[in-house]
Amino acid sequence: MSQSSLNRRLIQIFGILLGISVAVWVLRGFGILTFIPGGIICLFLLGAIAIAIISYVQRRWWRF
């Protein structure tokens, strides 16, 4: 897998995780998804942040 395709895949995963976390947060706020604990939303957000950091580091250091 080349560096640009790996970076593109990481950015896609970042967008998906961020989108899911925002959608779940909004739906939980409206009272639709009240059974999902807040820790799950935090895990989605932390996962998105971790993927963004890995994508940034991977783009900066070509050996990573």
pLDDT digits (tens, 9 = 90+) for 42-62: 999 999 999 999 988 887 776
In the structure, what pLDDT confidence band is assigned to residue 30 with cuts at 50, 70 and 90?
A: very high
In the structure, what pLDDT confidence band is assigned to residue 63 with cuts at 50, 70 and 90?
A: low
Q: How many residues does the chain have?
A: 64
pLDDT for 64 equals 47
pLDDT for 18 equals 94
8 Å CB contact between 37 and 10: no
**Averaged pLDDT for residues 1-28:** 89
**CA 23 to CA 36: how far, in whole Å?**
12
8 Å CB contact between 21 and 59: no
φ, ψ (nearest 5 deg) of residue 30: -80, -10
Count up the domains in the chain and report the number. 1
pLDDT for 1 equals 63
| Domain of 46, in residue numbers | 3-60
Q: How far is CA 30 from CA 18, 24, 25, 33, in A?
A: 18, 10, 9, 8
Structure tokens at 53: 């950091």
